[in-house]
Amino acid sequence: MCGVIGVAGHGPVNQAIYDGLLLLQHRGQDAAGIATEDRGRFYMYKATGLVRDVFRTRNMRSLPGLHGLGHVRYPTAGSAMNPEEAQPFYVNAPYGVTLAHNGNLTNSADLKREMFAMDRRHINTDSDSEILLNVFAHALQDLGAAAKLEAMQRSSLRAQLTVDEIFAAVTILGTRARGAFAVAMQIANVGLLAFRDPFGIRPMCLGFRETEQGTEWMVASESVAVEGLGFELLRDLKPGEAILIDRDGQLHQQQCMPSQGLHPCIFEYVYFARPDSVIDQVSVYDARLSMGALLADDVKAAFHMGDIDVVMPIPDTSRPSAMELADRLSLPYREGFIKNRYVGRTFIMPGQAVRRRSVRQKLNAMSIEFKGKSVLLVDDSIVRGTTSQEIIQMARDAGARKVYFASASPPVRFPNVYGIDMPTRSELVAHGRSDQEICKLLGADGLVYQSIHSMKQAVARLAQGFRGFEASCFDGHYLTGDVDQALLGEIESQRLRMEAAEEASQADLHAAMNLQFLQRDA
């Protein structure tokens, strides 16, 4: 999962993009980057780390221009350790294009082979985002060659790249690329382009604000970035739709790929998105309240209410669900865990050992709230189980008499290939295990999951125009129809190779540090 922002303004946009990335930091903590355009020339800076650590004043000064893109990343394809895979990406031919991408392609391996064998384009990284950029650039190149031939036949000069040609290139991309993608691009001397996959899996919204110089436009992964920068949320992009803001600030829009109906990723509402965001006209906060209300029915059926003294959330994402659940069950609600906000999300951190160690750095249990009580802990989801296991033990160490656990989403039993970092089945605590086995493994006195039907109903009853949801990690149904066991095995092998390389790199780093200490002490 990544965060994308694009701004077309009438003044320098570097600060606005930086501020927007801070608002989208929760979507990726591995790397950050900004690319701006000034009079046909691109300026870019990107590196691994948090937004506040990547950019310095000197970097911001080197990013002039009235148009720009920003990106925060955590890796679902490629390597977390490779700074070259930070975004935005840039290609210089045929017109000069930069790209920021959120999502995953399911046919990236085939496209990469086609790029080399047929299109004569070289892909320099393992990132599917670079592949997506080159597919689009090649389509522009072919369209430009056809237009040039037509201009020569008319004995006229080559016209500038047209809006129709740009939208035609998006259409060609849609015939070749499969998977989930929400994309923002800059085309040199043309403008800001954004589009969304035909299922609308990954989010992308459009905002505007009026200034004395004219209308300024913004696209972003979440509405919180639009509103936080003083823009007004206009709407979400439709599945398969593309928009272009040209150099004159005019908005062009076209349905470039046949819509398959709106199927947003339900994990956005469960976990990823900020609660103050609105995605496809559904408030994330309201969706989580709704999940808590329906989860209360499951808790009531599974446990004897006299056995539970208090309801506590696992900060922060599960707080709305826990509050609503406690209210529905007429149980006291307490904050038993205090969060250290300077530690990143453990879900995103690479490696089980790192996640396990970081849990106690991230959360602290207050004994005064746990001692002698039977507590019901509520979390948004249970993915690998590492965090949940540690938290349950922390509650016991703090004096809890009994620890029950409730998940506001169903068991995560299947890998996700559309942009969520859980591709390896062996990493999923629920894969191949019953609820009773999971409960025993986590060390809880009782465990209840939200049902798939209830989770979908919780969001659907707030929505209009949804065809369904992308919920493959819960129900094993892959919308694009091209995901089979062979592809899942290939993705898992790539993931294992990436983790092995990261562990080896960390081991080398620790060895080098130990050697430095030994040499210093000697």
Angle between helices 386-397 and 352-362 (to 10 degrees): 40
Give the separation between CA 103 and CA 265, rounded to whole angstroms: 11
User: What is the total residue count of the chain?
Assistant: 522
Catalytic residue among 2, 256, 265, 439: 2
**Torsional sign, CA 432, 433, 434, 438:** negative
Phi, psi for 226 (deg, rounded to 5): -65, -50
Is-catalytic flag, 2?
yes
Which strands sit side by side in the sheet containing 251-255, from one edge to the other?
A: 89-91, 97-105, 179-187, 191-196, 241-246, 251-255
Q: Peptide bond preceding 94: is omega within 30 degrees of 0, i.e. cis?
A: yes
Q: What is the DSSP string of 467-503?
A: ---B-HHHH---TTS---HHHHHHHHHHHHHHHHHHH
Residues 6+ away with beta carbon under 8 Å from 461: 290
The DSSP output letter for 29 is: -
Give the separation between CA 218 and CA 6, rounded to whole angstroms: 6
Nearest to 169 by CA among 151, 200, 145, 149: 145
CB 43 within 8 A of CB 108: no
Nearest to 405 by CA among 373, 367, 358, 449: 449
Work out the number of other CB atoms within 10 angstroms of the CB of residue 59: 16
The DSSP output letter for 238 is: P
Residue with tokens 């040199």: 188
CB 314 within 8 A of CB 346: no
Give the separation between CA 37 and CA 70, rounded to whole angstroms: 12
Give the separation between CA 359 and CA 349, rounded to whole angstroms: 11
**Tokens encoding 141:** 């190149």
CB 480 within 8 A of CB 419: no
Work out the number of other CB atoms within 10 angstroms of the CB of residue 481: 9
What is the chain's alpha carbon radius of gyration, rounded to the nearest angstrom?
24
Residues 6+ away with beta carbon under 8 Å from 485: none
Residue with tokens 């003083």: 230
164: helix, coil or strand? helix
Catalytic residues: 2
